[in-house]
Amino acid sequence: MTEIVGFCVAAVVLVGASLAVVLTPNLFHAVLWLAAALVATGGIFLLLDSPFLFAVQLLLYAGGVVTIVVFAIMLTERLVGASIRQTSRFVFSGAVLAAAVFAAIMGFVLQGGAVARPIAGGDQLRELGRALAGPFGVPLQLLGVLLVIALLGALYFARAED
Residues 49-108 that bind another protein (CB under 8 A): 49-50, 52-53, 56-57, 60-61, 64-65, 68-69, 72-73, 75-76, 79-80, 84, 86-91, 93-95, 97-102, 104-108
Torsion of CA 142, 55, 53, 47, to 10 degrees: -170
d(CA 58, CA 50): 13
Identify the three-state secondary structure at position 85: strand
CA distances to 44, 69, 79, 122 from 86, in Å: 30, 15, 16, 48
d(CA 136, CA 63): 26
With CB under 8 A as the contact rule, the residue among 118, 123, 138, 162 that binds another protein is 118
**Total residues binding another protein (CB under 8 A):** 87
Min separation Cβ 102 and another protein, Å: 4
Min separation Cβ 30 and another protein, Å: 6
Min separation Cβ 157 and another protein, Å: 4
Min separation Cβ 39 and another protein, Å: 11
**Distance of alpha carbon 46 from its chain centroid, rounded?**
15
Q: By CB under 8 A, tell whether 133 contacts another protein.
A: no
Range 24-53, binding another protein (CB under 8 A): 27, 30-31, 34, 37-38, 41, 44-45, 47-50, 52-53
Range 7-26, binding another protein (CB under 8 A): 7, 11, 14-15, 18-19, 21-22
Contacts of 20 (CB under 8 A, 6+ apart): 29, 30, 33, 36
Q: By CB under 8 A, tell whether 115 contacts another protein.
A: yes
Min separation Cβ 15 and another protein, Å: 6
d(CA 30, CA 22): 7
